[in-house]
Amino acid sequence: MNLSETHADLLKETFNIGVGSAAEALSEIAGGEEIILTVPQLRMMTLGDLGRQVRDVSGEDICSVTETFRGPFSGKAMMLYSQRESLELVRLMLGDMIPVEQIREMEGEALCEVGNIVLNACLAAMADMIGSEIETDIPQLKVGHFEKVLHQEAVGSDEHSILYLRMDFTMARYQLNGHIGFVFDLNSMTSLLACLENYLNSMLEM
Amino acid sequence: MSDLSDLLAIAAQHSSHGLILLDQDLKIVFFNAWIAKAGGLKEDTSIGKTLEEVFKAPVAPRLNAVLNNAVQRGQSALLSPAFTPSPLPLAHPNHPDLLMKQKVSVSSFKKGASRYCLIDVSDVSLAANREIKLREQTKLLHQTLNKLSHILDGVSEAVLSTTCDDYMVQTVNKAAEKMFGVAERDLVGVPLGRLVAQLPTHKADQTVSFETETEYGLGENKKSGFLSVTVNSQTSFDVLTWVIKDISALKDTEQTLIEAKKIAEEASKQKSRFLANMSHEIRTPLNGILGMSDLLWGTTLDLEQQEYTEMIRKSGETLLAIINDILDFSKIESDKIDYDIVEFSLTDWFEDVIGLVRPQAHFKGLDLGYHLDFPRGARVKGDPLRIRQVLFNLLSNAIKFTNEGGVFVRLRVDIGPDERAWLFLDVQDTGIGIDGPDQEQLFLPFVQIDGSSTRRYGGTGLGLAISKRLAELMGGDLTVDSRVGDGSIFHFKIPVESLQFSPMGRPSLAVAELRVLVLSDHPFSARHLEKMLASWDVSCALFTDLAAMDAAGIESTDFHLVFLDCAAQNDTVLIALRGRSAFAEARFVLLRQVSPTQSPMKEAKNDPYVVSVHKPLKSGVLVPLLTGFQAPEPSARKQPTTPSGNSNIKIHMLVVEDNPVNQKVIGRMLTKSGFHVDIAENGEVALSMLGEQPFDLVLMDCQMPVMDGYQATAEIRERFAAQDFRIPIIALTASAMAGDRERCLRAGMDDYLTKPVKQDALLQMIKKWVDPVLQRRSEAGA
């Protein structure tokens, strides 16, 4: 299933608002360091496409932060970084707040929190757009080979569509390349499209 | 339904996490026991209040944002302790001053139309601490491992670990790679037996060391060498540790050292043998000299002849002492010299030494004087022979290096700063002198100051070194003050054990009233006389010659005693003075050098007012001069003591001796004491003579041609073992080396005398062994 150009533009705009507020929240917990999040790319794809895309950009060993969401449409939201870059991201954010030797045991939870903030912000922006609530659950961290990690997130992959976003994280002189995916089943996908159509119509009516 | 709700409420109380349930307005609906305990919350006062109200402190802003999101948007969230260490103001479980480190998750949910959020808190303070500790320990472990591997790679020995059963290599260090010539990856997994041809077998819980000459290495890198292999096994570890080193170079060095030591020991033995031989060679003729002078002493001699004979004997004894000291030189060097501490009279001892060097000094025309600066009759305890050795050496040197002028000695006894009695000896000469830098060289063995002086002055260069070492070994010191052209003063001091003054009777004459004139043109002699007279409280008028005396205008004084020391002018001065009235009652003492060229004055021969004495004047000679003006009596001739009177004639002795002079000396000594003596020139002759007739005693020389004393004694003991009478055999040996006595006794001899044989010692020894024989004979006769 594909998005029309209009739908895609609408979502892109929505998510940029979302990651903008997420960046603000992250900057706050990182002690005021400037953080810039951008979404340069957005498209629909299958699970197989996602796997290739992630491997091409981030390599085989990845970390994912996943949370389920419920609302007019339901599914799983996930943020993916290569293991190396997720570690770097956390270290950049923690800076000299805590001693280096303590980072390792906390980096999983820290990454989880970062993912939670980003995903919650994106979903909140979407909820605001459609004028409805989208509830989220507590996020979970998964570490491992990309195929294994992705397989756990989607059951019966062919029936699922994935709304994929490239998300780049920039802090100080560093730029890290990550991914955001929203996994929808067929019903949810239909609902999403309907919601987008409603929003566009309401906009046009004004 | 209500039952389940109660049950869940109870279950929530038992949770190991803190749980707080908030309503849509973020007011507290429920909290469990964990929170009550951690936050000190009470149920009746907390329900329906906000978090900040019940905790009385602000919660973290991040938690506030999350809670607002939860109730307004339904979003759940997680707070990592990395970013927000303490979302709720809870105290640390162990440190009340610190905040608890928490991991908080906020879950949002709806019941009907109402939205709630559940805060789940877990304490990660301890977990974090444990993590930190574990991290520190891991770091330490890494450092230790690094250090150990650094050490292992630094050692020069190959260190390997292997399995216990087939010695399969597991780990190696750098030295092992180098030793076996292959990299670590090629060593691991190889049985050690392939690397080293011969290996020891390990023993459980032991360290086995092993040295072997063997082949080692892999493939092309095979070498052979002497290996030291150590294998350690500990049952607690399933691995063997091997330490291997090629010690070929060490072994080579060891071998070289062993050979060098052997050679050195052999050389040392040869030196000892040489010394023993030299000792024998020198002692044999010396025996002759001393023995003959003893015999000469027993003949009718006039005073002068007696004095010369005495000098021969004393010179011989000094020569003997020198030989002993050269033999002792190695002992001195290793500080193993023996002392014989006895009490002795300082004056007698000193004048004996002066007597020894007097002829030397007078032969060179040198003036010899001394000053005994201590109470008359002083006796001290010390080793007179060793001190004499030093003094004799200093005097000989002074005379040797002085060609004009003389030598003056000052002997003083005083209490030192350590409250002990010290003997101070200053030997002053007017010789060539020594410059500062050379003075340090002076006391080194085998060194003489200048190559040319070796030829000019002779000597071994050993004397001062021995003297210095002796002085130091006796706790004293020997130093020198000198300048080239100004002569030298040697200062010798040693502590003496005790100081006694024997009350020596003063002469009955009121000598203090004695008026004494000294005319002497020798400054040292004049000082000598003056000091010696002063020690008897006698003052004197002292002039260099007649003209000086006349110039002083003491013509009118009557003199009792006049000492003339004007060398060749003595005769003329004597005649001149005797013509004057002031000297009508005066007695004259003519001091003369002992010199073969100077004939005794004819005129003085029968003149009761004139007496001649030798220079330097001895204190023993001075006393009769002061008191009664009698010529000094010749020293009482000691008759040799005969052991058992006439009974000696019945004693039949066999002297076994190869040297004709010694045969004669010993033979004469014995026959003069009345013994019946036969001579055998070697052991074999002695054996046949003993077989032919009975003897009472054998004096056995040890070193003889044909058959030596040891063998002869052994044969005698064997051949005459059956006889009732075991004949005493006394060894006469010229070798004074340690161990000789034991060798003689082992050979079957009964006693031991060192050559040169002295008459007194010989007769005493014979008496010791002959008296029992005589006694038994008289008992048998009775």
Q: Tell me: the pLDDT tens digits for B209-219?
A: 988 888 888 87
- Cβ pair A123:B135 closer than 8 A: no
Question: What Å distances lie between residue A165 and A7, A11, A134, A179, CA to CA?
Answer: 14, 10, 19, 6
- Chain A residues with CB-CB distance to B127 below 8 A: 105
Residue A88: predicted pLDDT: 86
> What is the number of H-type helices and E-type strands within chain A?
6, 7
Question: What Å distances lie between residue B88 and B71, B339, B552, CA to CA?
Answer: 18, 97, 128
Report the gap between the CA of B30 and the closest CA in chain A (Å). 21
Instruction: Give the tens place of pLDDT for each residue, B589-631.
Output: 888 775 444 444 444 455 667 777 777 777 777 777 776 544 3
Q: Is B142 on the interface with A (CB under 8 A)?
A: no
Residue B474: predicted pLDDT: 85
Among chain A residues, CA nearest to B62: A29
Instruction: Give the tens place of pLDDT for each residue, B549-587.
Output: 888 777 667 788 888 888 777 888 888 887 787 777 788
Is A5-205 a CATH 3.40.1550.10 domain? yes
Among chain B residues, CA nearest to A116: B77
Instruction: Look at B497 and A27; give whichever has higher pLDDT.
Output: A27
Which of B72, B73, B83 to substitute to test the interface with A, most A CBs within 10 Å? B83
- Chain A residues with CB-CB distance to B71 below 8 A: none
- Cβ pair B78:A139 closer than 8 A: yes
Q: In what order do the strands lie in the sheet with B587-592?
A: B540-543, B516-520, B561-565, B587-592, B610-614
- Cβ pair A134:B74 closer than 8 A: yes
Instruction: Look at A139 and B761; give whichever has higher pLDDT.
Output: A139
Which letter does DSSP use for residue B375 in this model?
-
Q: What is the pTM of this model?
A: 0.41
Q: Is B131 on the interface with A (CB under 8 A)?
A: yes
Element housing A143 (H / E): strand A140-145
Comparing CB atoms, the residue among A110, A135, A136 nearest residue B80 is A110
Residue B321 has pLDDT above 70, yes or no: no
Residue B639: predicted pLDDT: 39
Among chain B residues, CA nearest to A124: B73
Euclidean distance between CA atoms B466 and A34, whole angstroms: 95
Compute the Cα dihedral for B381, B383, B385, B388 and give only its sign. Answer: negative
Instruction: Give the tens place of pLDDT for each residue, B441-450.
Output: 777 765 555 4
- State the pLDDT confidence band at B502, using cuts at 50, 70 and 90: very low
Instruction: Look at A18 and B377; give whichever has higher pLDDT.
Output: A18
- Cβ pair B107:A25 closer than 8 A: no
Residue B676 has pLDDT above 70, yes or no: yes
- State the pLDDT confidence band at A158, using cuts at 50, 70 and 90: low
- Cβ pair B78:A138 closer than 8 A: yes
Comparing CB atoms, the residue among A98, A101, A123 nearest residue B82 is A98
Residue B596: predicted pLDDT: 42
- Chain A residues with CB-CB distance to B135 below 8 A: 101
Residue B505: predicted pLDDT: 45
Q: Which residue has the tokens 């000459």?
A: B213
- State the pLDDT confidence band at B637, using cuts at 50, 70 and 90: very low
Side chain identity at residue B659, one-letter code = N
Q: Is A90 on the interface with B (CB under 8 A)?
A: yes
Instruction: Look at A76 and B379; give whichever has higher pLDDT.
Output: A76
- State the pLDDT confidence band at B25, using cuts at 50, 70 and 90: very high
Q: B124: which 2 tokens?
A: 């990660």
Residue B421: predicted pLDDT: 81
- Cβ pair B76:A137 closer than 8 A: yes
Q: A177: which 2 tokens?
A: 């390349």
- Cβ pair B73:A133 closer than 8 A: yes
- Cβ pair A135:B62 closer than 8 A: no
Residue B632 has pLDDT above 50, yes or no: no
Residue B118: predicted pLDDT: 95
Report the gap between the CA of A104 and the closest CA in chain B (Å). 10
Instruction: Give the tens place of pLDDT for each residue, A90-149.
Output: 888 887 655 555 556 678 888 999 999 999 999 999 999 888 899 999 999 988 898 888
List of residues 6+ apart from B186 with CB closer than 8 A: B218
Compute the Cα dihedral for B657, B660, B662, B666 and give only its sign. Answer: positive
Residue A122: predicted pLDDT: 94
Residue A66 has pLDDT above 90, yes or no: yes
CA B40 to chain centre: 84
Residue B95 has pLDDT above 90, yes or no: no
Q: In what order do the strands lie in the sheet with B652-656?
A: B676-680, B652-656, B697-701, B729-733, B751-754
Instruction: Give the tens place of pLDDT for each residue, B131-140.
Output: 667 777 888 8
Q: Is A135 on the interface with B (CB under 8 A)?
A: yes
- State the pLDDT confidence band at B647, using cuts at 50, 70 and 90: low
Lowest mean pLDDT among A6-10, A30-34, B385-389, B598-602: B598-602
Residue B456: predicted pLDDT: 43
- Cβ pair B74:A124 closer than 8 A: no
Residue B26: predicted pLDDT: 94
Of B601-615, B676-690, B762-776, which one has max mean pLDDT? B676-690
Instruction: Give the tens place of pLDDT for each residue, B154-181.
Output: 888 899 999 988 899 998 998 888 888 8
The residues in B 25-84 lying below 8 A from A, measured between CB atoms, are: 61-62, 65, 69, 73-84
Lowest mean pLDDT among B278-282, B295-299, B683-687: B278-282
Residue B1: predicted pLDDT: 54
Residue B590: predicted pLDDT: 84
- Of chain B, the percentage scoring pLDDT greater than 90 comes to 16
Mean pLDDT of chain B: 80
Q: Which residue has the tokens 């903030």?
A: A117
- State the pLDDT confidence band at B635, using cuts at 50, 70 and 90: very low
Report the gap between the CA of A74 and the closest CA in chain B (Å). 13
Mean of the pLDDT values across residues A148-173? 79
10 Å CB burial of residue B406 (0-12, 13-18, 19+) is buried
Lowest mean pLDDT among B191-195, B223-227, B281-285, B332-336: B332-336
- Chain B residues with CB-CB distance to A136 below 8 A: 74-77, 108
Mean of the pLDDT values across residues B187-202? 89
Question: What Å distances lie between residue B541 and B26, B518, B545, B572, CA to CA?
Answer: 137, 6, 12, 20
Instruction: Look at B674 and B377; give whichever has higher pLDDT.
Output: B674
Instruction: Give the tens place of pLDDT for each residue, B399-452.
Output: 888 888 889 999 888 877 777 788 899 999 988 888 877 777 777 765 555 444
Instruction: Look at B497 and B119; give whichever has higher pLDDT.
Output: B119
Residue B320 has pLDDT above 80, yes or no: no
Q: Hey, is B459 helix, strand or coil?
A: coil
Instruction: Look at B729 and B624; give whichever has higher pLDDT.
Output: B729
Side chain identity at residue B726, one-letter code = R
Residue A78 has pLDDT above 90, yes or no: yes
Residue A29 has pLDDT above 80, yes or no: yes
- Cβ pair A105:B131 closer than 8 A: yes
CA A23 to chain centre: 13
Residue B23 has pLDDT above 90, yes or no: yes
List of residues 6+ apart from B102 with CB closer than 8 A: B79, B81, B85, B86, B87, B88, B90, B121, B122, B123, B124
- Chain A residues with CB-CB distance to B85 below 8 A: 98
Among chain A residues, CA nearest to B127: A105
- State the pLDDT confidence band at B335, using cuts at 50, 70 and 90: low
Report the gap between the CA of A194 and the closest CA in chain B (Å). 21
Q: Is A105 on the interface with B (CB under 8 A)?
A: yes
Residue A113: predicted pLDDT: 92
How many Cβ contacts (< 8 angstroms) between chains A and B?
84
Comparing CB atoms, the residue among B74, B105, B128 nearest residue A135 is B74
